[in-house]
Structure 1
Amino acid sequence: MTQPRTRLDRGRNALGPALELVHTGRAPTRAVLTSELGVTRATAGAVATELESLGLITVDSRPGASAGSQGRPSHRLAVAEDGPVTLATQVHADGYRAALVGLGGRLVATTPACMTVGADPAQVLGEVVAAGAGLLRESGRRCVGAGLAVPSAVAEPEGTALNPLHLDWPVGAPVRDIFRRCLAESGIDVPGFCGNDVNLAALAEHRHGAGRGAAHLLCVATGHRGVGGALVLDGRLHTGSAGLALEVGHVTVDPQGRPCHCGGRGCLDVETDPLALLEAAGRVPGPEPSLLDQAKELVRTACAGPPGEGDAAAREAVGTVIDRLGLGLAGLVNILNPDRIILGGLHGTLLAADPRRLRAVVEERSLWGRSGNIPVLACTLRHNSLVGAAELAWQPVLDDPLAALAP
């Protein structure tokens, strides 16, 4: 006969869900936590106290009520600013960076960006992990996990980078195994996780940024090279059967366009990334700053001054790339029917440059003309792929805080 669960058992089972509610800002008070968990006030109080004892959250000692509110004042909850951290790392075509990230998606510390990425993934990952180890030594904080974001589809369960197209890395590089080995060699004894950079950016935005509250969130982004996409369904990344879903960069938007690495022509990947914008404006990219920064500066040039003045070639290039992006988004809307679209990197800058034009193209080219009702927003988090890499590392703690933080 199954024994009934005690209040203590229920409280332990609620620790993870409670921590996630505070982590994502959805439970700012103990009263909200009680309601969201569907437990008694006593159980919610015990859960909050346990999470506080683990050093994960803070509970104010003097509950207060906002002006004009009714009912019993409630204790306010917040993530512990001096609590444990995760080590987040990112590698992209123009460099790499490491950061320490606390609960709530807070960037505690970051290293300066390195602008050179070699052809040996072991060397690059060794360098970025060593930089992260330096941050940990300086901070003195407890590290509970580590995450890595890479500009490639990452096959599961192997953890291999199948298409690091804009890096000189071998296809199928075992990046997760290399990352874990580098962590061990640096004396960082924590679990290591790896994922695609846009997938992780979407996860971070869903929990802490422009995607918060969306049930079917589509993210499309271009950073330094190429275009990626991600879908978050009911709070979880949709990665497909082997981690390879949402390769949106290979949606065709111009059948007569540039040759793509995938063997096709005119894909989003080569028609709407920073290099495509610079080439459309007749610009020859320089070695510095990054391609992304050069493309963003071109957009600022195109938008400077009153209509009819300024750089005509830049304005035309911006309009062309916006139209291509809108066409690609319309096709994705037809397939995925999201309730929100967020755009990252250069795509967010293009949206800000001419939001009416982009939204009009999406609406006109999608079935039923209903996509005009779908919000199209820019990503809001700084270093969202790094924050997303941290989310991978935080997930075991969110799932079971007691087990993850056991000595």
Structure 2
Amino acid sequence: MTPPRTTRLERGRNALGPALELVHTGRAPTRAVLTAELGVTRATAGAVAAELAALGLIIVDSRPGAAGSQGRPSHRLAVDPAGPVVLAAQVHADGYRAALVGLGGRIVATAPGCQEVPADPGHVLADVVGTGARLLAESGRRCLGAGLAVPSAVAEPEGVALGPLHLAWPAGAPVREIFREAVAKAGILPDPAGPAGPAVAAGNDVNLAALAEYRHGAGRGARDLLVVATGHRGVGGALVLDGRLHTGSSGLALEVGHLTVHPDGRPCHCGNRGCLDVETDPLAFVTAAGRDPGPEVSLLQQSRDLLRDAWGDPAVRAAARLLIERLGLGLAGLVNILNPDRIVLGGLHQDLLRADPEGLRAAVADRGLWGRRGGVPVLPCALGHNSLVGAAELAWQPVLDDPLGALGG
């Protein structure tokens, strides 16, 4: 019996997810590039792009203006700016922020919630989801998932926050389940608890910032990317290896904040002294500069204001040099162990880099095993709210894996 003929779409269905990810990350701006990246025929690439457009995920622009591999005009591809979104949420020491994030890492709408974070994580997570629900109602967009970034190592597979930093949450709080329940109660997803329902996920804020920078920001094109960042308090790190977050056996890898960079330094909440976490965060900078860490604005904003507005003050410059010296020591140790091909700095650390780029890069290179000749590029983060964008990446992942399945096709 002659087997039934398959359509181009049926032959290309397995390419839908990879194709969407290529457009989502900006690596396939035209149909010609998509054809080459997927290793399929032009006809199959065209059918795949048309199906993704029919799903409302991308747009295909056939107007002249982009050259194909043989000089022919090639259809341009981009994420649909009016397409669906996911809810992204972040909790930090000074409150929370909710956002709607589209494909391509585009923040469609965002709203902060500045408050003292209560000891019961359920309270703040209900608030942040409520804020997200209001943003969704105002936007009229379809929501396909929800992701949460928290200042804690998140153990897998349970989704519990083992050590929430600078929050009064109990260790081991089941943040993913609490977040899932809040999303279900808000009714913003069809069936977030179902086995085939949209993703409701949670992760460490710096891990998610690294994922966002790797896909959409300063880490694009890197193979082994190290990200180190200050939050509103403390220091975190993350590593992306060959496109995947390295989270260790249970999600707890890269606690770089507890590298010792000043043995006689400040006591750290981990029980050690002089950790990167307490020697190079916004509180360390504000106090080293001789300022009172007042309650008017967040410590991160206060430290950034000092660097921007008071660089002429010798005490501010001396504090910056001190933090650069200790940050450089910690980064050099990480480079010697991990051998990344790029370092991206976030939070206060990126502001220190911009204030004294040569000083910080030299502090890293001079302590590296290969010296300045083997120095690793050190760049500032490129994305605003990158932890939110990374939380959105978790929520988008099922759609990237199987667009038809995720959208009910």
Contact 2:30–2:66, Cα closer than 8 Å, also in 1: no
| Structure 2: runs of 5+ lacking an equivalent | 190-197
Q: What is the match of residue 193 of structure 2? A: none
Q: What is the match of residue 134 of structure 1? A: 134
Q: Quick check: 1:88 aligned with 2:96?
A: no
TM-score by length of 1: 0.95
Contact 1:333–1:371, Cα closer than 8 Å, also in 2: no
Residues 323 and 53 of structure 1, relative CA distance in 2, 3 Å threshold: same
Q: Quick check: 1:293 aligned with 2:301?
A: yes
| Matched ranges for 1:3-402 at <5 A | 7-65=8-66, 71-189=71-189, 190-303=198-311, 310-369=312-371, 372-402=374-404
Provide Cα deviations, 1:191-239, integer angstroms capped at 9, x if missing partner: 3100000000011011111011100000000020000000011111111
Contact 1:301–1:314, Cα closer than 8 Å, also in 2: no
Amino acid at match of 2:99: A
Separation of aligned partners in 1, 2:69 and 2:44: 24
Amino acid at match of 1:170: P
Amino acid at match of 1:243: G
Shift of 1:374: 1.2
Shift of 1:7: 4.6
Identity of aligned residues (%): 76
| Structure 1: runs of 5+ lacking an equivalent | 304-309
Separation of aligned partners in 2, 1:165 and 1:97: 17
Separation of aligned partners in 2, 1:21 and 1:205: 15
Separation of aligned partners in 2, 1:397 and 1:81: 16
Contact 1:180–1:191, Cα closer than 8 Å, also in 2: no
Count of residue pairs brought into register by the alignment: 399
Separation of aligned partners in 1, 2:90 and 2:209: 11
Separation of aligned partners in 1, 2:70 and 2:6: 34
Separation of aligned partners in 2, 1:170 and 1:69: 57
Q: What is the match of residue 194 of structure 2? A: none
Amino acid at match of 2:264: Q
Q: Which runs of 4+ in 1 moved over 6 A?
A: 3-6
Partner of 1:47: helix, strand, or coil? helix
Partner of 2:237: helix, strand, or coil? strand
Separation of aligned partners in 2, 1:265 and 1:10: 59
Residues 107 and 142 of structure 1, relative CA distance in 2, 3 Å threshold: same
TM-score by length of 2: 0.94
Contact 2:119–2:168, Cα closer than 8 Å, also in 1: yes
Residues 219 and 246 of structure 1, relative CA distance in 2, 3 Å threshold: same
Residues 265 and 5 of structure 1, relative CA distance in 2, 3 Å threshold: farther
Contact 2:19–2:38, Cα closer than 8 Å, also in 1: yes
Shift of 1:246: 0.5
Partner of 1:111: helix, strand, or coil? strand
